[in-house]
Every structure is written in structure tokens, then in C-alpha cells.
């Protein structure tokens, strides 16, 4: 831990980032990226990988045939190359991906080792959100220094040390690239043309300008062979959710009490993990959290950065926000809409279409959020997740226990601003 903290003693932002890379990247020295087509193999710039692969979402960037490949080559210290590959035609296709209404180009893609089909990795692009100018970053720095708010957002490039300190709660990072600037629009506002939408014909995606100078980087992380919260609760293997086609032919019967115990216990563990670590991924939903064989959770989506509280009230705020996001994810679950409760059994198959089941699962929690929406203290005292009260789930911390998080982000921001002061 101390070694990572020492990176904040560097004089420049890029030196700080390189220091972090020196600790994370061994045994890999560097990575290179290629697009292979039928006729040739060409290197591709880091910031063009995701718009090139997912350019079909906006036709102006669609240049690749379905039988093209992305190759990621990792160079080991001994000079050996380990190559990972993905068919472009097999870009993200999990059950949670909606290409018509998604507001951003996906941040990850699954890679397979060319020489070992059991070795999977994920390539993720850490991106900065919410900054439209450099002034936004200055405001964030001043706000943290003066304690103007009790919760702050920081992109992963500025908060990665916090993630490393709490690495037991996150997927292992194997490699990170040097930071770079994204020039292609990755985030979009959705404009609805009419009240009735048929597929994608009724919407327009308008690019949103984001300031991101050297705040983005590629990362190669472990792929966890565990299910996320909803499939785990239904007793499904991790690979079920990786392909939307699996929703066309499946059959599940599980005891309702067993199902709800797994579901609510996973949510409780998630909230407790946020409480212990005093940080939360900016993106959080049931499909972004895996549950291992011991019922412990890990976050698998942290590309958007972290929410950082600076006191106990701020911690309680981000936990309430996490509850709301998880509830929304369950209510929109493409898997649970195929389920019904029959006596004390949950029955799921492709022929069932029943949105009410999803809503029933979170009705009591949602109702309590509405009843006490303006009183944080009442929310903490009264909300129950399964049989546990939120007040019993949340760990209490002294004010000074939040100082390390605040100081790490403050120093990283200072390095950034002094390096890019024009």
C-alpha cells in the first residue's frame, strides 16, 4: 500500500501515472493493439479501439466487417508475447446490452487467449465523465480542499490508488496503458422524435462534449467466472448472461425463499462492502457485481471512476444512491422479466413475460425510499434489505478515517492541474 501512496510524491501527473503503472503492470512490460481483417493486420490507436469496434451504434464510425478481429498483444518481461483476440462480430452481446437505447459506447470487451481457450481477460477503457471544461476539475479540487460537499466523483485515472488499496473488492487489474485523450464522441444524449418508438427509428443520439485530456486509459483485467447478482440468485452459471440468445431457450425452477435470500443477501453484501471501503463505483447495478462461491461480492465495472465520501453522512448518501441504482437494475432486468412466483417456487422460461415479478421484489425497499425520501437519518433507520436493517449494515467511521481518501484525490488532482495549467 505504501508504495502506491508514494506515487503521489511525484512532481507531474504523467510521472504519478507511470509510477502506478510500474507497480501494476509486471509481469507485462507493454501492450499493443491490432485490427486483423481478411487482407491485412494493422496497429490501431488506443483511443480508436472502442469507437471502431462499436461503430455500428453510429453508422459514421462503422468501418469493420463482422469477420474482423481485435488482437491485444501483451509483452512479458522475458520477451514472450501473450496474444488475446476477439471476433468483431462477437462484440458485446450479453443480456444487459441494449444497443438502441444505450447512452454510451460500451467500455469493455471480452478477450480470449489465442493459445488457451480457458484464459479470458477483459479490456476496459477507463473514461472521465461529468467534466466539460478544465474549470470543472478545478472546481472539484477546490471543493475537496475546502470540504464544500460530502461526496465527490473522481475519474479512475485520479482515484486508481483507492481502488488498489481496496483491491479485494474489485476485479484484479493486470495492465494499464499510459493515459490519453479521447477525441471521438463516446457519450450521447438520447432525443426522442415521437412518443412511440419502433426499434431505433424514433431516437437520435447527440454527442455530449466531455473534457478528458489524458484522463482515459486502457486496462486489462481478470474475467471472473462467477455470476452477477440476478443469475447467481437463480442458480445460473456465469456464462448464461454472456449471450442474449440464452434468453430464447431456458427453464428454471427454484425455491422462492432460497432465491430471495440470495438476492437480498447479495445486495446487503454490496452495501456493506461500500461501507467498509468508503468508496463506490460510479456505475453500480446488479449486473456489475459478481458473487463468488462464498457469497462475497466484487465489483467488475469501475471504468467510470469512483464516488468518494468525505464523512459518514456522505457515505450514507452513496449507499442510498447504490440502493436506488440496484433497484432500478432489478426492475429493468431482462432476465427476471421471464419469471413468476408460483406458490413458493420461482419459475422462469422464455415464454413468460411478467414485469410485475421484478417490481414485487423491490417494492418494499422502494416504498421505504419514497416514505423517507427527505430524511437521510430515517432512511438509514427504517430501510430493510431482506431481514437486515440498513443501520445494522452500515459501518460507522470516525471523521478522520475519511481523510486518507480525501488527501489521495486532492493530491492527484493537484498533480493534474499543475501539469495542465494552460
pLDDT tens-digit series, residues 239-279: 999 999 999 999 999 999 999 999 999 999 999 999 999 99
CA nearest neighbour of 14 among 210, 176, 186? 176
Nearest to 288 by CA among 161, 122, 87, 158: 122
CA distance 205 to 191: 6
| HEC readout, 22-57 | HHHCCCEEEEEEEEECCCCEEECCHHHHHHHHCHHH
> Which cell goes with 214?
489524458
**In the prediction, which pLDDT does 236 show?**
97
| Cα–Cα distance measured from residue 295 to residue 288, given in angstroms and rounded to the nearest whole number | 15
Q: What is the pLDDT of residue 79?
A: 87
Stretches where the chain sits below pLDDT 70 are 1-2, 56-63, 193-203, 372-374, 422
The CA distance from 82 to 80, in Å, is 7
The confidence score (pLDDT) of residue 38 equals 83
Name which of 167, 175, 162, 123 is nearest 413 in CA terms.
162
For 59-97, give one letter per residue: b (16+ CB within 10 A) or e.
eebeebeeebbbbbbbeeeeeeebebebebeebbebbbe
- pLDDT of 198: 46
Amino acid at each position: 500500500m505504501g508504495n502506491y501512496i508514494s506515487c503521489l510524491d511525484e512532481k507531474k501527473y504523467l510521472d504519478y501515472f507511470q509510477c502506478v503503472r510500474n507497480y501494476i503492470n509486471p509481469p507485462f512490460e507493454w501492450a499493443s493493439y491490432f485490427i486483423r481483417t481478411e487482407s491485412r493486420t494493422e496497429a490501431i490507436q488506443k483511443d480508436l479501439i472502442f469507437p471502431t469496434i462499436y461503430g455500428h451504434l453510429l453508422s459514421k464510425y462503422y468501418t469493420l466487417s463482422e469477420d474482423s478481429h481485435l488482437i491485444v498483444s501483451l509483452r512479458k518481461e522475458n520477451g514472450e508475447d501473450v496474444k488475446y483476440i476477439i471476433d468483431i462480430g462477437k462484440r458485446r452481446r450479453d443480456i444487459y446490452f441494449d444497443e438502441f437505447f444505450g447512452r454510451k459506447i460500451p467500455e469493455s470487451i471480452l478477450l480470449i487467449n489465442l493459445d488457451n481457450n480457458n484464459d479470458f481477460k477483459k479490456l476496459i477503457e477507463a473514461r472521465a465523465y461529468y467534466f466539460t471544461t478544465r474549470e470543472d476539475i478545478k472546481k472539484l479540487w477546490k471543493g475537496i480542499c475546502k470540504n464544500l460537499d460530502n461526496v465527490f466523483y473522481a475519474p479512475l485515472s485520479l482515484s486508481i490508488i483507492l481502488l488498489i488499496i481496496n483491491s479485494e473488492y474489485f476485479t484484479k487489474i493486470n495492465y494499464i496503458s499510459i493515459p490519453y485523450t479521447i477525441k471521438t464522441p463516446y457519450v450521447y444524449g438520447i432525443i426522442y422524435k415521437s412518443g412511440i418508438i419502433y426499434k431505433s427509428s424514433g431516437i437520435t443520439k447527440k454527442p455530449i462534449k466531455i473534457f478528458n485530456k489524458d484522463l482515459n486509459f486502457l486496462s486489462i483485467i481478470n474475467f471472473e467466472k462467477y455470476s452477477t447478482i440476478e443469475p447467481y440468485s437463480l442458480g445460473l452459471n456465469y456464462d448464461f448472461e454472456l449471450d442474449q440468445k440464452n434468453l430464447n431457450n431456458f427453464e428454471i425452477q427454484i425455491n422462492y425463499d432460497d432465491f430471495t435470500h440470495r438476492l437480498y443477501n447479495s445486495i446487503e453484501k454490496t452495501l456493506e462492502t461500500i461501507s467498509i471501503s468508503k468508496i463506490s463505483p460510479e456505475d453500480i447495478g446488479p449486473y456489475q457485481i459478481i458473487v463468488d462461491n462464498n457469497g462475497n461480492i466484487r465489483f467488475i465495472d469501475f471504468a467510470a471512476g469512483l464516488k468518494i465520501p468525505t464523512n459518514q453522512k456522505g457515505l450514507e448518501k452513496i449507499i442510498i444512491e447504490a440502493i436506488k441504482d440496484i433497484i432500478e437494475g432489478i426492475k429493468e432486468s431482462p432476465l427476471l422479466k421471464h419469471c413468476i412466483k408460483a406458490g413458493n417456487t420461482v419459475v422462469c422460461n422464455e415464454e413468460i413475460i411478467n414485469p410485475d415479478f421484478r417490481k414485487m421484489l423491490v417494492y418494499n425497499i422502494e416504498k421505504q425510499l419514497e416514505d423517507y425520501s427527505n430524511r437521510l437519518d430515517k432512511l438509514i433507520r427504517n430501510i430493510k434489505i431482506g431481514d437486515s436493517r440498513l443501520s445494522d449494515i452500515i459501518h460507522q467511521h470516525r471523521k478522520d478515517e475519511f481523510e486518507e481518501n480525501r488527501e489521495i484525490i486532492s493530491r492527484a488532482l493537484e498533480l493534474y492541474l499543475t501539469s495542465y495549467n494552460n
